[in-house]
Structure 1
Amino acid sequence: MKIFTNVKDVEQCATLQSDLQTVSEWCYANKMRLNVEKCCIISFTRKKNKFTYSYTIEDHSLGRRNIVKDLGVLIDEQLTFRPHYEYYIVKRCHRILGFIIRSTKNFKKPRSILNLFLSIARSILEYCSPVWSPYYNVHIDNIEKVQKKILKFISRKYNLGRTLKNYEQRLSKFGLTSLKTRRVRYDLLCLHKILHSFLDAPGLLSSLSINTRHRTRFPRTFTLDVYKNNTSYYNPIVRMCRTYNDLACSGKDSVVDIDIFNSKFSSYKKAVTERLKRDITH
């Protein structure tokens, strides 16, 4: 359970404390004792001087944290998600690669090693990516290095280094795409699910702004505001809409049409996949 509110003064803090007390009393009445040690507080703000308040449950003070994990994703107090992809998934997957490399010395087929990577490492690198997908190249490259490392290892192990000299050739050889491209694909698929209410997220759906003006040759499907900082500009919903706008406009002359409104999810998914592959090869 998460309880949250916008806090600007002590009165709002007192309201939040009252809500905590209500929840605590309900749990006690229904014989569901809360584990106070697992409860914590985090304040999401970019201000240097944070407004702090001591919250309690059953007269026990709650600890304050700078980073919390929510459904497997690390979130910091500035909502940057950097701890998740900088320290959590990348380091974790490098350890997994070490395990794969040590454990596959006697493997005869390169595809067997690759399947291990895809099943136990790449899945970690892509879990919930529409939420935390990075936008700085340094972070994008750090994530990509994990896949580069395993493909380089496979190429050397099976004497493919001379024919597969770079990352792009290795991707083509094994029928893969970059992790960055896959995250773009997941963004576009997530946007379709939100628009058609396959995801129960009315708040996200209401934030989509459809462009009803068509004054240009290639009108943008979604209307986007002018954002003054990276946090707003790279907001997940804004990023998804901007990605779709760019892909749809760039493909007006393409045989692969992407229609997020009238296409079924399976058809839309196939069209997005084909368009991304086409853009990579061209």
Structure 2
Amino acid sequence: MKLFNPIYNEENCNNLQKDLTSAEKWSETSLLKFHPDKCCNMRIGPSSIRNDGYTMGKDQKTINKAETVKDIGVTFDSSLNFEAHVRKINKANSMMGIIRRTFEYLDDKCFSTVFKSLVRPHTEYANQVWSPYLMKHITALENVQRRATKLIPGYKELDYKERLKRLNLPTLSYRRLRGDMIEIYKILTGKYDSSVTSNFVTLRENDSIIQPRNI
């Protein structure tokens, strides 16, 4: 369960504590008791309000503060720059090491199959949520594919663009941009539940959406 609330003043903090108390009562009634030691409190963004002492349990135990939280495979941090998540994607480099030791020879076709199924998914899982905007993170991710394409015999001497051209692979940054555009299209054309997307996208009354033509 996740509880969140914009914090602008002490009253907002008190309201969040009330929500915690209500959730705890519900858990006891439902026989799904919360364990304060397994819960955490993370503040996102700067704030002049320092009342982070939220409590749970009969003994009013203070919930531990956290700088990072992993949620459904994505590591969130308090600044939302997802640096911790980008660092963990280095497991894709470990997978490349396994591939290098497992295959004595990789041709173009074999590499494409192995890379797309075992390496690239690590760099793209849920990337609409955490897509990097800092150049150092963008470069770190692209380096995964840059290094991987050198595994093919005779490709190491080629520059990155030429390797991608021969393998018919786009850059990872292009794939993220394409994925973002697809998601925005789905949101704006009502492919998702509007009660959820309205929390993130608000259209003004005079805004219009151009519907695609059937060809």
d(CA) in 1 for partners of 2:205, 2:168: 36
Q: C-alpha separation between the residues in 2 aligned to 1:152 and 1:82? A: 26
> Structure 1: which 5+ residue stretches go unaligned?
213-220, 223-259, 268-282
Q: State the distance in 1 between where 2:65 and 2:180 align.
A: 32
Q: Find 1:181's aligned residue among 174, 179, 183.
A: 174
Query: Could you say if the C-alpha distance between residues 117 and 208 of structure 1 is closer, same or farther in structure 2, counting changes exceeding 3 Å?
Result: farther
Aligned to 1:276: none
Instruction: Spell out structure 1 runs of 4+ moving beyond 4 A.
Output: 208-212
Contact between 1:67 and 1:74, CA under 8 Å: does it hold in 2? yes
Tell me how far apart the structure 1 counterparts of residues 72 and 106 of structure 2 sit (CA, whole Å).
38
- Corresponding residue for 1:95? 94
Looking at structure 1, the residues matched to 181 and 111 of structure 2 have their Cα atoms a distance apart, in angstroms, of 29
Distance in 2 (CA, whole Å) between partners of 1:36 and 1:138 is 36
Structure 1 partner of 2:211: 261
Contact 1:17 1:55 (C-alpha < 8 Å) held by counterparts: yes
Shift of residue 35 of structure 1? 2.9
Which letter does structure 1 place at the counterpart of 2:143?
K
Unaligned runs of 5+ in 2: none
One-letter identity of the residue aligned with 1:133: S
Shift in alpha-carbon separation, 1:103–1:262, aligned structure 2, 3 A = same
SS at match of 2:76: strand
Match of 2:154 in 1: 159
Of all paired residues, the percent bearing the same amino acid is 29
One-letter amino acid of the counterpart of residue 38, structure 1? K
Deviates more, 1:107-116 or 1:5-14: 107-116
CA contact (8 A) 2:9 2:49 kept: no
CA separation of 1:52 and 1:34: change in aligned 2, threshold 3 A: same
Task: Give the whole-Å Cα distance in 1 for the aligned partners of 2:21 and 2:30.
Answer: 14
How many residue pairs get aligned? The number is 211
Kindly indicate whether the alpha-carbon contact (under 8 Å) linking 1:100 and 1:117 is maintained by their aligned counterparts in 2.
no
Native 8 Å contact 1:69 1:75 kept in 2: yes
After TM superposition, the score normalised by the length of structure 1 is 0.67
How many Å apart are 1:38 and its aligned residue?
2.1
Letter aligned with residue 174 of structure 2: T
The reply to whether residue 81 of structure 1 matches residue 82 of structure 2 is: yes
**Secondary structure of 1:68 counterpart:** strand
> Closer, same or farther in 2 for the Cα pair 1:108/1:168, shift >3 Å?
closer
- Give the SS at the match of 2:69: strand
The amino acid across from 2:44 in the alignment is F
Does structure 1 retain, via aligned residues, the 8 Å contact 2:131–2:176? yes
Q: Residue 135 and residue 103 in structure 1: after superposition, are their counterparts in 2 closer, same or farther (change >3 A)?
A: same
RMSD over equivalenced CA pairs, Å: 2.5
Shift of 1:115: 1.7
| Preserved CA contact (<8 Å) 1:67 1:75 | yes
Deviation at 1:20, TM superposition (A): 0.8
